Amino acid sequence: MKTQEHVVAFVEPARDGEATLEVAQEAVNSGGRATVVVLVNRKTMDDVRAFAESENLTVPDATAIYFERLAETYASRLGNGEASAVVTESAYAGRHLFETATRANPTTIVMPQRLANRRGWRSFVGRSQVPVLITPPITATAA
């Protein structure tokens, strides 16, 4: 019996998550599944606070709405019912996020090189029982 591919892809909005998202998209397109773990950084939280102020919401209410929309955006980009998105508040919670990712029973974990090089993540990548695909940083293209 063939095992269905299941990719867990870590992305940070407006950073170098596009390459990891492409790997997840390929898995979904070939009949597999993908879980996107969206890592929220300080810039995103600044955007949440601005959203709260503009909509006259509390920060917790704005956070819930913003994260729900962010998760829906990534899931819809994969365009398949076999895709799910998870949002977390911090890219610094490496151990928790890596454990969560491996509990989803993936066949591959995909993460940007910048994230894999963080001191708090290197040991988890090295000890992973699941193959970890590290995507290179996005290079600037000449116009």
Q: What is the CATH number of the domain that holds 93?
A: 3.40.50.620
Q: Could you say which residues of the chain have pLDDT below 50? A: 1, 140-143
Q: Is residue 141 part of a domain?
A: no
Contacts of 9 (CB under 8 A, 6+ apart): 17, 20, 21, 23, 24, 34, 35, 36, 37, 109, 110, 111
Q: Is residue 142 part of a domain?
A: no
**Axis-axis angle for helices 59-78, 18-29 (nearest 10):** 50
pLDDT of residue 143: 44
- CA nearest neighbour of 27 among 115, 114, 106: 106
Q: Is residue 56 part of a domain?
A: yes
pLDDT of residue 102: 82
Q: Is residue 47 part of a domain?
A: yes
Tally of domains within the chain: 1
Show the domain range for 46: 6-135
pLDDT of residue 15: 63
pTM over 0.95: no
